Chain A
Amino acid sequence: MEPEVMKAELVLPTHLSFKRVQMYEKYPKGQARGRHWKHLKQILQAENFQNYLADEPNYVNIESSPSMHPCKRICDITGFEAPYFDPRTNLRYASADIFKIVRSLPNEYVQRYLALRNAAVVLK
Chain B
Amino acid sequence: MPFISQFHRQSDYNYFSSTTPIVIDNGASYFRIGWAGETDPRVIFRNIVQRPRHKATGETVTIVGDHDPALLKYFDCTRSGPRSAFDSNVVYQFEIMEYILDFGFDRLGANGSQIDHPILITECVCNPVQSRCKMAELLFETYGVPSVAFGVDAAFSYKYNQRHGICDKDGLAICPGFTTTHVIPFIDGEPVYKGCCRTNIGGFHVTDYLKQLLSLKYPHHMARFTWEKVEDLKMEHCYIAPDYTSEARLFQKGTKEAEDKTRCWQLPWVPPPVEEPPSEEEIARKAAIKETRENPELYLEQMRVKYKELSEKVEQRKRLKANGNHSNGNNVPGGVGRGERLNAAQRERMRLLTTAAFDRGREIDPAFVPKLDVGPSQPAPEIPRFRPLTKEDFQILLGVERFRCPEILFHPNLVGIDQAGLDEMAGVSIRRLSTKDQTWRRD
Contact = CB atoms under 8 A, between A and B. Distances in A.
A88 interface: no
B209 to A, nearest CB: 7
Interface in A33-54: 35, 37-40, 43-44, 46-47
B144 A20 contact: yes
A67 B420 contact: yes
A110 B43 CA distance: 44
Interface string A14-38: 0011111101001100000001011
Contact of B113 (A18, A21, A26, A71): A18
Contacts of A16: 102, 105-106, 110
Interface in B331-362: none
B419 A21 contact: no
B112 A17 contact: yes
A64 B420 contact: yes
Given A18-B110, A43-B90, A62-B196, A69 B424 contact: yes
Contact of A64 (B92, B126, B143, B428): B428
A100 interface: no
B425 A64 contact: yes
Nearest to A38: B92
B252 A18 contact: no
Contact of A62 (B102, B110, B126): B126
A122 to B, nearest CB: 12
B194 A47 contact: no
Interface stretch (B66-74, B168-176, B296-304, B383-391): B66-74
A122 B198 CA distance: 27
A118 interface: yes
A58 interface: yes
Given A18-B114, A43-B92, A47-B129, A79 B198 contact: no
B76 interface: no
Contacts of A71: 411, 413
Nearest to B125: A62
B244 to A, nearest CB: 7
B6 interface: no
Residue in B68, B131, B414 with the greatest tally of chain A CB atoms within 10 Å: B414
Interface stretch (B56-64, B270-278, B308-316): B56-64
A17 to B, nearest CB: 6
Most buried by B among A20, A46, A64: A64
A91 to B, nearest CB: 12
Contacts of A95: 252
B14 interface: no
A27 B310 CA distance: 82
A40 B404 CA distance: 30
B127 interface: yes
B412 A20 contact: no
Contacts of A1: 54, 56-57
Given A20-B142, A21-B141, A43-B131, A59 B126 contact: yes
* Range class of the B interface residue count: 35 or more
B28 to A, nearest CB: 12
B415 A117 contact: yes
Interface stretch (B93-101, B223-231, B321-329): B93-101
B2 interface: no
Contacts of A65: 419-420, 428
B99 A2 contact: no
B244 A72 contact: yes
Contact of B106 (A13, A63, A68): A13
B141 A81 contact: no
B424 A12 contact: no
A64 B113 contact: no
28 contacts: A10-B71, A12-B63, A16-B110, A17-B110, A18-B111, A18-B114, A18-B144, A20-B143, A23-B98, A37-B95, A38-B130, A40-B90, A40-B92, A57-B126, A57-B196, A66-B419, A67-B413, A79-B404, A80-B248, A81-B245, A81-B248, A81-B249, A109-B216, A112-B212, A112-B216, A116-B416, A117-B416, A118-B417
Interface of A: 1-2, 4-5, 8-13, 16-21, 23, 26-27, 35, 37-40, 43-44, 46-47, 55-59, 62-69, 71-72, 74, 78-81, 94-95, 109, 112-113, 115-119
Interface of B: 9, 54, 56-57, 61-64, 67-68, 71-72, 74, 87-88, 90, 92-95, 98-99, 102-103, 105-106, 110-115, 124-131, 141-144, 193-194, 196-200, 209, 212-213, 216, 244-245, 248-249, 251-252, 400-401, 404, 411-421, 424-425, 428
Q: Which A-B residue pairs are the 10 nearest by beta carbons?
A: A118-B416, A79-B400, A40-B87, A57-B193, A79-B404, A12-B62, A80-B252, A11-B61, A64-B420, A18-B110
